[in-house]
A and B are shown apart, each in its own frame.
Chain A
Amino acid sequence: MTQEQILNDVASILRNFNGREYSGDIGLDTRFFGDLGLASIDAVVLGETLEAHYGRKLPFHLFMADLGRRAVRDIPLGELVAFLHNHLNISTTIG
């Protein structure tokens, strides 16, 4: 999968996520907390949502292990897309 495809998938999910809409443009620079107004627990739920979307188990604990502390700064979606790009092309399917 290309990063562009992954970004489209992520944007599609985040456009209406957990009962909250986001009407702005979503790109690699869109910030997880500052722009999308999400919290660290939302990131966990997003991880579950992405696993269900791709039908694969993904090592989100590696990406988010330090999320609480990272919350002091923001996370551009580009980081998540890059993470997904790396793992979607090599990871195993769930089960």
Chain B
Amino acid sequence: MTRMSYNTHGTQVGNVSDGATGAMLVPLATVADASDPYLRWETEVFVLRGDDRTALRQRLQTLADFLAQHPAIALKDLAFTLNTALTPGGSRLAVVAESVETLRARLGRAAERLADPHCKQIKDTRGIYYFDEPLHPQGKLALLFPGEGGQYLNMLRDLLPHFPEVRAHFEQCDRLSVQGGRPKPISQAVLLPEAAPAEERQQAERELWRLDNAIAAILMADWSLYELLHNLGLRPDVLASHSAGEFSALTAAGCFEHNDTLITELFALGRLLRRQEDEGEIPEYVLLAVSAESDAIMKVLAPQQDAVCVAMNNCPHQTVLACLPSATAVVEKELTARGIICERLPFSRPYHTPLFEPFLAPVAKLYQTLGVRSPRIPIYSCITGQRFPDDPEAIRRLSIEHWARPVEFARMIETMYVDGVRLFVECGPRGHLTSFVQDSLRGRSFEAIAANVVHRSGLTQLNHMAALLAAHHVPLRFEHLYNRRDPQRIQWEQSGEHKLPEHPLGGWTPPTSAVDAPRSMTFRATVMQRYFGVMEQFLDLEREMTEAFLASRCGARGADATPLAWPLLGDIIRHEPGRELLMRRRMDLAEDLYASDHTLGARHASAVDPTHHGLPFLPMAFSLEMMAEAASLLVPGKRLVGFRRVRLQRWVPFDDEPTTVELTARVLPEAPDEVAVEVRDWGNAVCPGNAASPAVTGVVLFGDHYPEPPPAEDFPLTNEGPCRYTAHQLYEGEHRLFHGPLFQALVSTDRQGDEGIEGHLQTRPHSGLFRSHPQPNFLLDPLLIDASTHLLGCWHLGCADQTGRVVLPYELGAVTFYGPRPAVGTKIQCRVRIERQSARQVSHRIDLLGPDGRLWCRLAPAEYWRFYWPLEYVDFFRRKEQFLLGKRWPADANVPGQVCCLRVDPPDDLCQTVQRAALARVTLSRAEWGRFRLLKVSEEERTTWLFGRIAAKDAIRALWFERHGQRLFPADLEVEVSEDGRATARYRGGVLAEELPRVAFASVPGMSVAAAAFGRSVQLTLQRRDGAWTAAVAWE
């Protein structure tokens, strides 16, 4: 995907990819831990895999030997190298260590244990995990969301600097909490300076346990961790919760949409409950945690039964009682006399008892406001101890009752265990629920671990969690732990050993999980796609503006600026001079030659056909040029001097068949030199259009003279240094940007620092962009504007923060031209200043200076949205012959060099129309692409059609590489399926060394599986057992 980014943002592709590319091995001599705490964590997790226990021990020894010889190795690079090359199955050892020394010691300890044939598992709290019989995938995995009571001061504080999604959610909650009337952001109730005096700390502690703060804080933390775990690739089979954590669980299940409204309403509910508490509307009770089961307790307390009731059955060793204040001392005395431990909890109202029934109205109103949908993921209720019903109305009723009925957590866990859940991950702070599970299932086969606990740092606990889960073969996307830390792949095994068997794919880097970044939620994917469109178009717009500026300079309306020569002007359907214009332009790949150098999905998709690239789409700068050309007809005699409020809503992809774009331009009544323009696309087989909603809008500005440029400013850079990539590396050497030769106007990347980046562009000739206009005339230079955004991408690639490097423009506040467009060959200095950024957004200013040092174009602000993409897809788009999108599964079906079985889990983002089309364009042969674009099927079936073939091709490619060492492009293979369902594959590049492997593939929602075998018929059967899919592979 690089390509996408290509644009401007090439960003994302960045170093992350370095690490994931087997070819980029870093010389050991250069490896050293940076002192930057963002790069160097206090601990790292290391996962070693062997095909069996013997192979694992051998590999363990190899690693120990390597560490002995390289005591200065950077642990994060070693962790990155090991963990991102994991393949499914086999035998796994996971270790958490804070130094090379401790890592060696723990490896030694593990080696001793593994040498003992009686050792069936290692679960050492210090960080050694191994299981002869891993619980995954046979056992289901549950996420558990804690409720109030899990919050603690400074929770997640140490994760904030490292995980943008955590920061983003804190920021969102802060914003909404203040908008909702809180005097201070909610995070200020959670985060206290480390040096705060004891008195202040105690006060903050008390305040954090007030109901409004408690609910808001726990939900903020729950969801932040959910986002983090999701990005780490954790995909739960089921969900459950405790008390108010049910809001988070219902949201994760899809019953609620996670948006501002949800958070605002939940915060408001907390405030209302607190007010009811403060005003004495809710009777005061004492909540008492008691270390025994409820039946035994209530037997003891029979004489006090009118004053006590059970609020929570958490586990055999903890029941929470609601006691009348006047009876509490007696209750405590009776219980402690029997050796039962009692602890008063800092809550003072009878939640989860019938006493709360009179106060359910606000809760009911909340559910009415939010609406409820059926869950997408099975979810359990902690008051019934059973699965939630699917009916939204039944869910709503149950959720309201939840507040006035006892929590039956222990019973719920028992039900989940009976239903096949074996792995419980607590998605929230502190770890209470984990200990409840451990107590409830004591003595049985299961695993429970918290994502966050009080007594370990957030990063270390995260590493332990990842280690334990990886040792149980739970797939994780480990890249998420290293993306922001400049990971480097190191060579710790002799190069020859890289081929097999540890890495059956050799230099390939298989993806480790379905998706990346904050994903998985439909709304997020939708937003992402929208912004992607925005970004692409924005970029194009920028280019166009520059061109317009230059063109106008050359004499707007001069001899070479006649409308007849304007290449993007289409058929004028209606024209009221000086007022309004309607134009339609046919977008045709045979005419718009530039589009083939501007392709989503990047370039070079085939070794057979060098012209086979990604999905062409309209560059933003060309959109600007089109807008300027049409608008110019309404204000004859004026110069193009800029644009204002350009908003990019969607991509406009090209198709094999021409696409029509409709443009409306209207002179603003109050400003006769300003023309408002809307661009709509009618759609095509690739992407349905939406005539009701413009793809691009903006105001084109004209004038009699160019404005005077502001004086040139110095451009000091903090931490200044050379740029990470040269211009050549960005375009061709590393394939960081997707632009073809026509667009490669960045000629040097000069310097960069914290505040931005500087480089040089060179205006390119405009020949070859249009078939009918060998020497087109532009109002602005689209190529130059486009290239100014390439430098921006380079800046992001050079940053230590390796996430969020796909940045997509969604709005251009203003583009101002201060003079005419420079002549072809002119060198233009380009300065990109980062004006502000957050986890989600980046705002830039781009200045383009002529050879005289004068500013001739400024784009400011250029607003970008940041995205977090799956690295495996990024890498695949960069080098499609080198990377797979599938992962080996099931592992025991794979026989190196003979049989390969793998699965592909379609990420949400790549199921979106345009991105899916881009993926299809680079993975299908031209004939297959022709069939794909004309499929008359549902969206889901279209996705299944594509990913089934991708899986089949991946299986063939992986197997072919194992036997022949030759890498094939997926688009050079053609898979056909006969009417009886048999699949055959053909290489479209001529004769191969032997016949391609035979292949079978099958798809179910969310997963495509393929098996390939040399010289044998292969059969693949998918079956659903105990809620999980299994694959059976047979060959003859």
Contacts and interface: CB of A to CB of B under 8 A. Distances in A.
8 contacts: A19-B123, A20-B125, A21-B124, A39-B434, A41-B315, A41-B439, A61-B291, A67-B341
Question: Which of B205, B442, B455 gathers most chain A CB within 10 Å?
Answer: B455
Contact of B126 (A23, A65, A72): A23
A84 to B, nearest CB: 15
Interface in B426-458: 431-432, 434-436, 438-439, 442, 454-456
Contacts of A39: 431-432, 434-435, 438
A36 B125 contact: yes
Given A22-B126, A34-B455, A45 B439 contact: yes
Nearest to B447: A19
A57 B336 CA distance: 13
Contacts of A3: none
A61 B339 CA distance: 6
B206 to A, nearest CB: 12
A74 interface: yes
A18 interface: yes
Contact of A65 (B106, B341, B434, B442): B341
B454 A33 contact: yes
A95 B200 CA distance: 48
Interface in B326-342: 336, 339-342
Contacts of A19: 123
B575 interface: no
Interface in A21-40: 21-24, 31, 33-37, 39-40
B128 interface: yes
B289 interface: yes
A52 interface: no
A18 B438 CA distance: 8
A41 B317 contact: yes
B262 interface: no
B109 interface: yes
Nearest to B432: A39
A66 B318 CA distance: 14
B300 interface: no
| Nearest 3 pairs of A and B residues by beta carbon | A39-B435, A33-B455, A37-B125
B123 A21 contact: yes
A36 to B, nearest CB: 6
Given A21-B122, A22-B124, A39-B435, 15 more contacts: A22-B125, A34-B455, A35-B125, A41-B317, A42-B435, A45-B317, A60-B341, A61-B291, A61-B339, A65-B341, A65-B342, A66-B343, A67-B341, A68-B289, A71-B454
B424 interface: no
B343 A68 contact: yes
Nearest to A51: B339
A77 interface: no
A39 to B, nearest CB: 4
A77 B439 CA distance: 22
Nearest to B339: A61
A74 to B, nearest CB: 6
Interface in B96-115: 106, 109
B217 to A, nearest CB: 15
A52 B128 CA distance: 29
Contacts of B455: 31, 33-34, 37, 71, 74
Contacts of A24: 126
Contacts of B123: 19-21
Contacts of A22: 124-126
Nearest to A68: B343
Interface string A72-83: 101000000000
Contacts of B318: 41
A33 to B, nearest CB: 4
B350 to A, nearest CB: 19
A68 B345 contact: yes
Contacts of B291: 41, 44, 61, 64
A23 B124 contact: yes
Contact of A57 (B124, B339, B438, B439): B339
Interface of B: 106, 109, 122-126, 128, 152, 205, 289, 291, 315, 317-318, 336, 339-343, 345, 431-432, 434-436, 438-439, 442, 454-456
B112 to A, nearest CB: 10
Contacts of A21: 122-125
Contacts of A41: 291, 315, 317-318, 435-436, 438-439
Nearest to A64: B341
A33 B455 CA distance: 6
Contacts of A45: 317, 439, 442
Nearest to A70: B343
B493 to A, nearest CB: 27
A60 B317 CA distance: 14
Contact of A60 (B339, B342, B343): B339
B124 A61 contact: no
Nearest to B454: A71
Contacts of A34: 455-456
A22 B342 CA distance: 29
A21 B122 CA distance: 8
A24 B318 CA distance: 29
A54 to B, nearest CB: 14
A61 B456 contact: no
A59 interface: yes
A91 B442 CA distance: 29
A61 B338 CA distance: 9
A37 B318 CA distance: 19
A21 B131 CA distance: 13
A12 B878 CA distance: 55
A31 B126 CA distance: 13
Contacts of A64: 291, 341
A77 B721 CA distance: 52
Question: Which of A31, A36, A37, A66 gathers most chain B CB within 10 Å?
Answer: A37
A94 to B, nearest CB: 10
A50 B504 CA distance: 51
Given A20-B125, A22-B124, A68-B345, A61 B439 contact: no
Contact of B340 (A20, A36, A61): A61
A20 B124 CA distance: 6
Contacts of B125: 20-22, 35-37
A23 B439 contact: no
Nearest to A34: B455
A60 B341 CA distance: 8
Contacts of B456: 34, 37
A65 B343 contact: yes
B873 to A, nearest CB: 37
A19 B432 CA distance: 18
Nearest to A61: B341
A57 to B, nearest CB: 6
A66 B289 CA distance: 11
A66 B340 CA distance: 13
Contacts of B434: 39
Nearest to B338: A61
A31 B125 CA distance: 13
Nearest to A35: B125
B128 A67 contact: no
A64 B336 CA distance: 11
B339 A18 contact: no
A64 to B, nearest CB: 5
Contacts of A57: 339
Contacts of B435: 39-42
Contact of B343 (A31, A33, A69, A72): A69
Nearest to B434: A39
A72 B152 contact: yes
A22 B198 CA distance: 33
Contacts of A23: 106, 109, 124, 126, 128
Nearest to A74: B455
Contacts of B340: 61
Contact of B342 (A33, A61, A71): A61
Nearest to A47: B341
A72 B431 CA distance: 13
A34 B454 CA distance: 9
